[in-house]
Amino acid sequence: MEKETCPFVPNTLLGLAGGIQYRKLKKASQDPKKSSAETLRSILRYAEHSEYGKEHHFSDILQAKTDDELFALYQKNVPLNDYEDLKPYIDKHRHGGENILFPGKPVIYATTSGTTNEPKWIPITPKYMEDVYGKMTKVWLYNFIMNRPKVFTGKILSIVGKTKEGEAPDGTFFGSVSGVTQQNCPGFVKKLYTCPFSVYSIEDYTARYYVLMRTAIEHNVTLIVTANPSTVVELRNNVNVFFDDYCNDIEKGTIKADLKIPDWIREDIQQTLKPNPERAKELRDLKAKYGTVLPKHYWPNLQILNTWKCGNTKVYLDKFAGAFPDTMLHQEFGYFSSECRFGLVLDDTNNTVLFPHLHYYEFVAEEELESENKHFLQLHELQKGKRYCPYVTTFAGLYRYNMNDLLEASDNFGNTPTVFMIQKVNGIVTMTGEKLHERQFIEAVRRVEKAMQTPLAFFIGFAVLEESTYHFYLEFADQSTPQSVADEFVKNVDKELTTINVEYKAKRESFRVKDPVAHRLVKQSFEQFKEECIKEGKRDGQFKILLLMQDEARHEKFKKLILK
């Protein structure tokens, strides 16, 4: 294992830059109402003379004498928006238009999946990139030091999307904001990454993950950053398959010749490698000692693992048990999407700290989501333990934008409520009015799993409207589990759902929802599903899946994974 490096330089420099932004955050959090009003005014002034600003009377809104009047005028003049509402303005930008949603043009588009076959093109302005992403990244890196001062004594394994995937009609590139953010990190942080940026451009799924782990397992990794915890599970599986190949490559300073890696990327990677027989021997000795080699064995000094832990990603966390060093902090990645960097988690809770001096937030209580006359709450009005759908206004052209998520308010940071992710609002399935929540399905499965003492490796459910039937797919940890047990398992899940959801109970008793159907899944079903999706063009960093859906396209993929 390579020696630890001295963290003095990164800790000092990040302490200075991040400390300044952290203090600004703390100050803004003392009076969230005042900070929210100041931010809204700043955004409106910034976009006042844009096409959208003129159409929606930003100049008139700015005449408000009080904060309450400002909020009221904004709600009166600016409609609620989802992506399709803003798409005509974004399309003008994509084709070269300036001063449409904001001054000038976007510097990049973040692309993500939308409700149609065409992806969303989320514009990112130079101001948002510098004043929001830039400042929040400084706080984020500072947070790592505050939680684990030795976090930068080793290398960083960071998994992001491809920075540039293509260009808009006017030549502005689109790609992964996480990739751009990583490239914009301070130079002394970039030197700590285990692999060059070119690795994220490897198209072949197997090859990309091989290179990520081959370059990382050679080093003393002290920080892992990747939003999706399923990616960490896959990296571990990759070790089990290719461990001997890693050792051979590390010993010789090479990369397997049979991997599908473009020549220019292979050459770029090769420049960072050299023979390391000492590390190869260490790894082989670990395998001889433990048999199954885990991250706690090859990365014993790991300080922080940073992934999503909230929402439906929690189902993957059981796979982390006992695999990592006991002293490691597994920190929640935070509420972060392609649309905006909503906030950051700064401690060992799952609570996202909001930045009222960089975004303007509005909220609708969960019980009013289906109301035609929604009441919009300001940040300071949130109550701990209650759930809300957030709407965000940014310096990048999103105005009263529906994030379509369900958040729960938690403890205050200063005087500002924190939040954590519960699920997507569309994680609710209803065929005949039962309104079955994804989290209710997960809870029911977990109850049965415990009661029957029959562990699952993965599970998912689909509502088939034409049949008025739920199909539940189960990957048992023991692949020899017979269909009869699967049938019993699903029958018990059905019973649990009737105790959790009264509407589901009523619809089942009235036969409007039929008996659910059980299916057994092959081994590593989720991994196979994900691999197919990525081959079709989905990006790993943005890969998300609800565990309860009404989606026949995805349902068809799981039908192919039924255990025969």
What is the C-alpha to C-alpha distance for residues 428 and 546, in angstroms, rounded to an integer?
10
Closest CA to 231 of 333, 80, 350: 333
Q: What is the pLDDT of residue 163?
A: 81
CB 347 within 8 A of CB 380: no
Strand-pair partners of 421: 407
Query: Of how many residues is the chain composed?
Result: 564
Q: What is the pLDDT of residue 96?
A: 97
The residue behind tokens 């966390």 is 317
Closest CA to 445 of 475, 421, 467, 424: 475
CB 212 within 8 A of CB 232: no
Q: What is the pLDDT of residue 541?
A: 61
Backbone angles phi, psi at 99, to 5 degrees: 55, 45
Which structure tokens are listed for 417? Answer: 């409520």
pLDDT higher for 401 or 550?
401
The tens digit of pLDDT for each residue in 267-276 reads 999 999 999 9
**What is the average per-residue pLDDT within 31-51?**
98
Among the ranges given (60-74, 402-416, 425-439), the one the predictor scored with the smallest mean pLDDT: 425-439
Q: Residue 401: pLDDT above 70?
A: yes
Q: Where are the beta strands (DSSP E) in 289-333?
A: 304-307, 329-332
Q: List C-alpha distances in Å: 175 to 15, 121, 158.
A: 30, 9, 17
In percent, how much of the chain has pLDDT > 90?
75
**What is the average per-residue pLDDT within 482-503?**
95
Percentages of the chain per state (helix, strand, coil), in multiples of 5: 45, 20, 35
For residue 221, give the 3-state DSSP assignment.
strand
Q: Residue 114: pLDDT above 60?
A: no
CB 558 within 8 A of CB 529: yes
Q: What is the pLDDT of residue 312?
A: 67
DSSP for residue 336: -
CB 125 within 8 A of CB 397: yes
For residue 379, give the 3-state DSSP assignment.
helix
Which structure tokens are listed for 470? Answer: 């739920």
pLDDT, the chain, mean: 93
CB 150 within 8 A of CB 303: yes
Q: What is the pLDDT of residue 113?
A: 63
Q: What is the pLDDT of residue 1?
A: 76
CB 461 within 8 A of CB 437: no
Q: What is the pLDDT of residue 430?
A: 83
**What is the average per-residue pLDDT within 225-229?**
89
What is the C-alpha to C-alpha distance for residues 114 and 83, in angstroms, rounded to an integer?
8
Q: What is the pLDDT of residue 178?
A: 81
What is the C-alpha to C-alpha distance for residues 336 and 161, in angstroms, rounded to an integer?
14
Helix or strand run (H / E) with residue 179: helix 177-183
Which structure tokens are listed for 234? Answer: 């896959």
Q: What is the pLDDT of residue 281?
A: 98
Closest CA to 225 of 141, 106, 100: 141
What is the C-alpha to C-alpha distance for residues 407 and 430, in angstroms, rounded to an integer?
20
The residue behind tokens 């030197």 is 191
**What is the average per-residue pLDDT within 62-77?**
98
Confidence of residue 409 (pLDDT cuts 50, 70, 90): very high
Q: Which residues does 41 contact at the CB level (< 8 Å), separation at least 6?
A: 62, 70
Q: What is the pLDDT of residue 387?
A: 97
Closest CA to 43 of 382, 357, 354: 357
Q: Residue 482: pLDDT above 70?
A: yes
What is the C-alpha to C-alpha distance for residues 121 and 108, in angstroms, rounded to an integer?
9
Domain ranges of the chain: 9-126, 352-424, 428-559
Q: Name the pairing type of β-strands 428-429 and 436-437.
A: antiparallel
Q: Residue 127: pLDDT above 90?
A: yes
Helix or strand run (H / E) with residue 230: helix 229-252
**What is the average per-residue pLDDT within 327-335?**
96
Confidence of residue 247 (pLDDT cuts 50, 70, 90): very high
Residue 171 C-alpha from the chain's centroid? 28
Among the ranges given (7-16, 70-79, 476-485), the one the predictor scored with the smallest mean pLDDT: 7-16
